[in-house]
Amino acid sequence: MAVSSTPMRWPNAWADPAALDLLRGTAIDCLLIDNSDELVGVRERAQKAGLRVLHPDAPTEGIEIVKGAWPGVKMSRNGGAEAGPTGVPWVDSNGWNILLARALRPEHEVWVDAPPDAGAFITADSYRIAFADSAAYGGRWIISLDKSLAAALAAGKTEAQGPWQRLMQTAAFFGAHKGWADYAAAGVAGVISDFSGDNEFFSRELLNLLARAGLHYRILPKQNRWGTDGLRALLYVDADGPAPALREQIDDFVNAGGMLISPFWPKVVGGALPLAPLDKYSVSSAGKGKIVTCKTPTDDPYVFANDAVVLVSHRYDMVRFWNSGATASFYTLAPDHRGALVHLLFYSYRGPDAASVRIAGRYRAVRAATVENADVAGVQLEPQRDAVEIHLPQVSQYVALELEA
């Protein structure tokens, strides 16, 4: 479902209805306001102004609110950036959560509830990446201000205007591109699960970890019918077996040359294939494809996620960065299949001075857009075999690459 709203959580300290003047001319069209007596005047004036007013804790038809995390580089207790075994900074993002909610309830609009962490170092660009982190994946961040900024805005302080204007500029940018939510996610792997019950923790944490590792995937709920075009591997991650129709679809995929990776899948009789150094897996041939299973079933999604990335192979990475710092990307295909849109997110406190990105696929032209600039100058495209390499000038924390086939 295309995004239709830009919601904001109204600060409880803004009891004066005059604070609604801050929203004039912005993309914000929905407010989540407590039912306290102090805010009666705010609610009444907001409704008269044509704004949609909701209670923060009341379920709303057609809207899926997911609990998220404040996006950015996760910091350790000593103030440094946390990193995984590869040394890549550990990034918190809400993209996987949005994609899952959209896959399970495609008729719902997805909002992310992720207020700023108490005591976190918040900058004007922190709000920009908070909004872009949700909007790039087809959701909307519920705009939530930290107490310091909210108080400064209410007092009319000059230093609060910059962060507020940057946030409103970001909201306006994505409000003008709501159709991007209709683009289809591209991926090299499909993750199959019901994402619920006993399978909930493992499957959902796996989505989070695969995204952090840079593997582009599609979410394939067991209860739905879906295609496998463009996929090189399927990850079946539930402890219970698939229904007969789903099993047949998976078998067809493998027999045609695909790879199935599963911690629990029963072994298939066939010629054993060696696979080093992941000696904890057994590999069997099936038709033209392979079935890879854990010799000992694992309940650790972190280990399985990192192994799955190696098994699929980095040679098939859809997006690779150079000189970019803590990053994420979301690769989508245009509804008419004539091009692609790749969202680039840079989670450091500022965007890179210069960065390069390799994108799988054959494209002949690219246009880069940022929140500040609808057509970034100085972008260079170099065709490669089955890919393009794009060189960016200095950019901010979010870039949209529109690629023409």
Query: What would the pLDDT profile of 164-200 be if each residue is shown by its tens digit?
Result: 999 999 999 999 999 999 999 999 999 999 999 999 9
Give the per-residue pLDDT at 288.
95
The whole-chain average pLDDT of the chain stands at: 89
- Can you give the C-alpha Rg of the chain in angstroms? 23
From the list 254, 234, 241, the residue with the least C-alpha distance to 191 is 234
Please state which of the four CATH numbers 3.30.2320, 2.60.40, 1.10.357, 3.30.200 is assigned to the domain occupying 319-404: 2.60.40
Q: What is the 3-state secondary structure (H, E, C) of the chain?
A: CCCCCCEEECCCCCCCHHHHHHHCCCCCCEEECCCCHHHHHHHHHHHHCCCEEECCCCCCCCEEEEECCCCEECECCCCCECECCCCCECEECCHHHHHHHHHHCCCCEEEEECCCCCCCCCCHHHHHHHHHHHHCCCCEECECCCHHHHHHHHCCCHHHHHHHHHHHHHHHHHHCCHHHHHCEECCCEEEEECCCHHHHHHHHHHHHHHHHCCCCEEEEECCCCCCCCCCCEEEECCCCCCCHHHHHHHHHHHHCCCEEEECCCCCCCCCECCCCCCCCEEEEEECCEEEEEECCCCCCHHHHHHHHHHHHCHHHCCEEEECCCCEEEEEEECCCCCEEEEEEEECCCCCCCCEEEEEECCCCEEEEECCCCCCCCCCEEEEECCEEEEEECCCCCEEEEEEEC
Q: Name the CATH superfamily housing domain 187-316.
A: Class I glutamine amidotransferase (GATase) domain (3.40.50.880)
* pLDDT range class, residue 1, cuts 50, 70, 90: low
Please report, for the chain, the start and end positions of each structural domain, with discontinuous segments joined by +.
7-182, 187-316, 319-404
Q: Lowest-pLDDT range, 73-77, 291-295, 399-403?
A: 73-77
- pLDDT of 216 above 90: yes
Give the full edge-to-edge strand order of the sheet including 233-236.
Answer: 217-221, 189-193, 233-236, 259-262, 289-294, 281-286
Give the per-residue pLDDT at 382.
95
Q: Compute the distance between CA of residue 93 and CA of residue 131 in angstroms, rounded to an integer.
A: 11
Number of C-beta neighbours around residue 310 at 10 A: 12
- pLDDT of 46 above 60: yes
Give the per-residue pLDDT at 58.
79
Give the per-residue pLDDT at 109.
94
Give the per-residue pLDDT at 282.
83
Per-residue pLDDT, averaged over 266-286, amounts to: 61
- pLDDT of 336 above 90: no
143: β partners: 8
Q: Compute the distance between CA of residue 343 and CA of residue 330 in angstroms, rounded to an integer.
A: 5
Give the per-residue pLDDT at 380.
96
Give the per-residue pLDDT at 121.
78
Burial class, 303, CB count within 10 angstroms (exposed 0-12 / middle 13-18 / buried 19+): middle
Percent of all residues in the chain with a pLDDT value above 90, rounded to a whole number? 76
Give the per-residue pLDDT at 2.
63
- pLDDT digits 0-9 by tens, 79-135: 444 444 444 457 899 999 999 999 999 999 999 999 998 777 788 889 999 999 999
Stated pTM of the model: 0.91
Give the per-residue pLDDT at 90.
72
Q: Compute the distance between CA of residue 208 and CA of residue 204 in angstroms, rounded to an integer.
A: 7
Percent of all residues in the chain with a pLDDT value above 70, rounded to a whole number? 92
Give the per-residue pLDDT at 74.
61
- pLDDT of 75 above 50: no
